[in-house]
Every structure is written in C-alpha cells, then in structure tokens.
C-alpha cells in the first residue's frame, strides 16, 4: 500500500463508524471511500457493498472490478484518504475447507509437459478452479445446445487433402487487420480473468507479447485496460472489445483512450443487448453463496438469481442499432469490427455500413441458445459477399469451439481471415498461468505444422474451399461422430436441488 505525503490518514476505528446505509465507507487497496451516495447506483446492488461497510472490501472487489473502477466512478470529493497503516489490525483469515481442497488439487495437477492438447487445459481447469469461476466461465445459455454445436460443426466438415506438394517448409504466419500475427488465431475477449488466476488477463498479455499473438482486451477484464497495455512489450499489437455503455460519453472516452494507447482494432459486441441466462452460474449464486443471494434482495432490476455476469452488465445499452455505426466511425480511426454476426443478411448490412469486418460468433454459446455455429454461418456469408462483389477490404473472422489447428484450417479454407479463441486460452492460464498460455500457443503451432503438411498447403494463402467437404454442415440431425475429449470435460446440466432438511 502506498501513502503519499499530503494524503489524509484515516484510522480503521473511524472507518468502522461508517457502517450503515446512512453513512457507508469502505476501504479498497488501502484507500478510504465514501460510497453512501453510490449504493443505489452500484451495478451489482447495494447490499454487497453494505456487507463490507466500515471494512476492507479489497478481496471481494478485486476479481470483479478493474483497479480504477472505484476511482473513476466516484467523484474525488468521496475519495477520503488513506487508511492509517498504524491502525490496521492483522486479521488471520480462516482458509475454507473448499479452498484447502482446491490448493491440494492445484499442487497435484499434471505437469505442463504432460498437457498434449487444448482439451487438457479445460480438464485441469475444471478441477482446480474455484466453483464460482468454473460456473461463470464454462456456462452457456439455457440448454447449452449451441456451445456443443460449436464443436460438432467442426466435425461435420471433412478434409480433401492434396498430396505430393513439397511441404518441407510450411508457414502459418499471417496479418490480422494489418498487424503481424504468428498464428491465424487471436486471443478473444473473456471477462473477469482474476476469478481464475491472481494475475488475470496479464497472463495472456505476457504470453502473447512473447510469441507474436494478438490479444483482444475485454471491456470487463479484471485487470484495467492500462495495466494490460503497460504489460505489453514495445509495439505489441492489441485489439479491444467494446460493450457499448448507455452513457455514450463513457464509451467515447474509452474508445478514444484505446486509440491513443495504440490499439489496432475496435471489436464492438453486437450480440448481447441482454446477457443470456447461464444457469450453472445462476444456480451457484443462489445455492452456493447465501450471502450472494441475500445481497441482491430488494434490487428491482437485478434479480437475485442472476449469476456473476448479469450482475455487472446493467450498463450495456440494448438500444444499440445500425444507426449508431456512423457515430462510432466519427469518434475513431481504428478499424471497426462487429462481433456477433449470425446471418448473411446482417453481414451484408455490416458491409454496407462501412465497417472493416465482422466476427461470426454466437458468443461461445452464451447468448441465444440454438443459434448456429460460426462455421455454418461462414459458408452462407462467404457466398453472399461473393455474390454481392466487395470492392473494399472486409475481413470475416469466426470464433466458438476452436480447440484444434484443424478447426482453424477449416475456417480459413471456408473464407475466414483468422479465428478467435477465448475459453481455451482462459483455461490455459487458470490451470498454469502464463506458461500455460505459452504451451497453448505451442500446441497450435505443432498442430498447424502437421495439419498443413498433411493437407498439402505451405502457406495459409494456399487454402481453398475445395480442400474441405462442408456439405453436411447445415444438416443438424443424423449421426455424428462423438468428440470424446470435449464430452469428458463438458459438465452435464443440473436440475433444481432440494434444500437439506
């Protein structure tokens, strides 16, 4: 904790006296804040703050908020000063049985060199993650049909490899929105990285910088935007994902700040005017953490069974529409990409709107359940754009369910410029920190080398639609081979539980 010379020092005893709705002070990162007037504005509800009234809230605050959330949301008059270090009484924290069990599992996880594919990271993460983190990351919406379809779709596309093409040298590097990338894969945005690892998204940043991979920074990352950029190596390219705020001034500031810090692409999420119901996440909030359930009571707009993401997503503007695109164009020169397009109709509208690209995505199966896979959408979008005849650069990206280099090559053969990978990299750092992410990148490299040789392509530009047979892609019924690696990490849906009597 740093205390500057001219800062007011406040004793822990004084803070303790402000522990009510009428006067509510909390301590975050060694600073004291008066949050009385902010209680009803807090997106996660007032009761969670009141739980820490008069006390240190840092531990609860940390994974859910970027470090600067409190300083930017509270007027400076409410920044009261620093806690007087001499008055802090060390508290010996009880380690819960659940946490002890988790630490023991973490200590016995397989060594990283025994990890052979991306599914392995998920299998380890599922065991070593705190229950809440696993529920939040792994859950998808409703019956979780789309998240499974994302994997199954790749299995309905078959290769038509070419042979005798001298594949002694193969090169899988590319450029994405004009930026060099060592892989045709970028790290897609996932929120709340500190739920799963104390360094959160910085694990991704450091690995990406070392290996020439581009990271898309999430609006709701646990680490602040600047912390992430500052952790990059000089010249390291980043993209940024944007949730559009109801208050457009906040959005404008965020976008222009990102541009000033050198971000190379603005990915506006367009598939989440309201967050999907992720039931694993919702059930845990309800059953596993009674204080969590209680803190939501009395909140009109934030019901108590919402889960982590919904609690912090109230700022997202559901009125966002095509008419807003010129405004985005007017506030930034960064390439604009719309993330979450699901039909050829919207792909054409996006092209006409003047943006630089689209991500075909169903948000990792977390939004509209039974929405189609990006791969299936890709076939119709590629065809529609070809029919229209594009006269300016317009990149099509896909994400959702990518776990293998073969998945990547199928998407590229069918017209994608690059693919986004979110959860697989997230699980890699939850299980092994930065080295896990580096290993995931290495696995992509190894698999790309082998698959490109076996497919008969030396560079990504040699990939052709004729190299895949996608005829079965839109056949949603019928026998499909099972993906056993994915199935064993996939958690069956739970039904309502009776309370212990």
List, by residue number, the catalytic residues. 243, 271, 363
d(CA 68, CA 108): 36
Q: How far is the CB of 390 from ligand 173 (least distance, A)?
A: 29
Structure-token match 């892989």, residue found: 183
Task: Select 191 or 430, whichever has its Cβ closest to ligand 173.
Answer: 191
Task: Select 154 or 243, whichever has its Cβ closest to ligand 173.
Answer: 243
Pairing of strands 79-83, 31-34: antiparallel
d(CA 463, CA 445): 17
Q: How far is the CB of 187 from ligand 173 (least distance, A)?
A: 15
Residue 372 CB coordination number (10 Å): 21
Task: Select 24 or 295, whichever has its Cβ closest to ligand 173.
Answer: 295
Q: How far is the CB of 221 from ligand 173 (least distance, A)?
A: 10
Task: Select 33 or 136, whichever has its Cβ closest to ligand 173.
Answer: 136
Phi first, then psi: what are they for 382, rounded to 5°? Answer: -60, -45
DSSP string, 377-424: HHHHHHHHHHHH---S--EEEEESS--SHHHHHHHHHTT-SEEEE-HH
120: three-class secondary structure by DSSP: helix
User: How far apart, in Å, are the Cα atoms of 364 and each of 17, 126, 137, 177, 281?
Assistant: 46, 17, 10, 22, 15
Q: How far is the CB of 382 from ligand 173 (least distance, A)?
A: 26
d(CA 428, CA 264): 25
Task: Select 141 or 382, whichever has its Cβ closest to ligand 173.
Answer: 141
Structure-token match 């990890």, residue found: 115
Alpha helix (H) residue ranges in 56-141:
58-61, 69-73, 97-107, 118-128, 131-138
Cβ 346 vs Cβ 333: under 8 Å: no
**Residue 237: which region, alpha, beta or left (left: phi > 0; alpha: psi -120 to 50)?**
beta
Q: How far is the CB of 313 from ligand 173 (least distance, A)?
A: 4
Q: Closest by alpha carbon to 209, among 251, 240, 180?
A: 180
Task: Select 18 or 363, whichever has its Cβ closest to ligand 173.
Answer: 363
Task: Note the Cα 449 to chain centre separation in Å.
Answer: 27
Q: How far is the CB of 156 from ligand 173 (least distance, A)?
A: 25
Chain contacts with ligand 173 (rule: CB under 6 A):
191, 220, 272, 275, 309, 312-313, 363, 366
Q: At what angle do helices 118-128 and 97-107 cross, to 10 degrees?
A: 150
Task: Select 191 or 268, whichever has its Cβ closest to ligand 173.
Answer: 191
User: How far apart, in Å, are the Cα atoms of 220 and each of 27, 122, 263, 363, 415?
Assistant: 22, 22, 16, 15, 30
Dig out the tokens for 291 from the structure. 């204080």
Task: Select 220 or 463, whichever has its Cβ closest to ligand 173.
Answer: 220
Task: Select 10 or 147, whichever has its Cβ closest to ligand 173.
Answer: 147
Residue 336 CB coordination number (10 Å): 22
Q: How far is the CB of 367 from ligand 173 (least distance, A)?
A: 8
Q: How far is the CB of 45 from ligand 173 (least distance, A)?
A: 15
User: How far apart, in Å, are the Cα atoms of 231 and each of 113, 200, 219, 378, 466?
Assistant: 26, 12, 17, 34, 42
Residue 477 CB coordination number (10 Å): 5
d(CA 351, CA 361): 16
Cβ 424 vs Cβ 444: under 8 Å: no
Q: How far is the CB of 222 from ligand 173 (least distance, A)?
A: 10
């Amino acid at each position: 904790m740093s205390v500057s010379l001219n800062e007011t020092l406040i004793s822990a005893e004084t803070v303790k006296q402000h522990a009510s709705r009428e006067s509510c002070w909390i301590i975050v990162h060694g600073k004291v804040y008066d949050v009385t007037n902010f209680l009803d504005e807090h997106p996660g509800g007032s009761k969670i703050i009141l739980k820490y009234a008069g006390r240190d809230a840092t531990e609860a605050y940390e994974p859910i908020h970027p470090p600067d959330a409190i300083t930017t949301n509270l007027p400076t008059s409410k920044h009261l000063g620093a806690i007087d270090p001499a008055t802090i009484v060390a508290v010996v924290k009880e380690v819960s049985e659940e946490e002890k069990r988790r630490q023991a599992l973490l200590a016995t996880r397989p060594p990283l060199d025994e990890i052979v594919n991306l599914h392995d990271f998920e299998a380890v993460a599922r065991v070593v993650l705190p229950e809440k983190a696993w529920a939040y990351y792994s859950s998808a919406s409703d019956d979780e049909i789309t998240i499974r379809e994302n994997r199954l779709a790749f299995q309905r596309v078959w290769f038509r490899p070419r042979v005798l093409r001298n594949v002694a040298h193969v090169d899988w590097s590319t450029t994405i929105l004009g930026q060099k990338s060592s892989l045709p894969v970028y790290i897609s945005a996932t929120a709340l990285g500190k739920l799963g690892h104390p360094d959160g998204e910085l694990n991704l940043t450091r690995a990406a910088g070392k290996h020439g991979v581009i990271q898309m920074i999430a609006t709701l990352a646990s680490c602040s935007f600047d912390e992430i950029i500052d952790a990059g190596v000089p010249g390291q390219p980043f993209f940024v994902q944007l949730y559009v705020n109801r208050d457009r001034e906040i959005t404008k500031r965020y976008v222009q700040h990102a541009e000033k810090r050198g971000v190379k692409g603005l990915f506006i999420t367009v598939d989440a005017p309201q967050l999907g119901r992720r039931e694993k996440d919702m059930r845990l909030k309800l059953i596993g953490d009674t204080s969590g359930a209680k803190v939501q009571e009395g909140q009109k707009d934030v019901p108590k069974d919402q889960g982590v993401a919904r609690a912090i997503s109230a700022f997202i503007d559901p009125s966002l529409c095509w008419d807003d695109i010129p405004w985005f164009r007017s506030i930034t020169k960064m390439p604009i990409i719309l993330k979450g397009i699901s039909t050829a109709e919207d792909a054409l509208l996006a092209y006409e709107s003047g943006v630089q690209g689209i991500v075909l995505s169903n948000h990792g199966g977390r939004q509209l359940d039974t929405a189609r896979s990006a791969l299936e959408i890709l076939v119709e979008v590629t065809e529609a754009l070809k029919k229209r005849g594009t006269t300016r650069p317009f990149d099509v990206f896909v994400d959702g369910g990518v776990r293998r280099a073969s998945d990547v090559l199928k998407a590229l053969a069918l017209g994608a410029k690059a693919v986004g990978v979110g959860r697989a990299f997230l699980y890699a750092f939850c299980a092994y920190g930065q080295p896990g992410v580096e290993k995931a990148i290495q696995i992509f490299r190894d698999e790309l080398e082998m698959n490109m040789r076996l497919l008969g392509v030396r560079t990504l530009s040699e990939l052709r639609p004729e190299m895949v047979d996608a005829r079965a892609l839109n056949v949603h019924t019928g026998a499909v081979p099972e993906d056993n690696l994915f199935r064993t990490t996939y958690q069956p849906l739970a039904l309502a539980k009776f309370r212990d009597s």
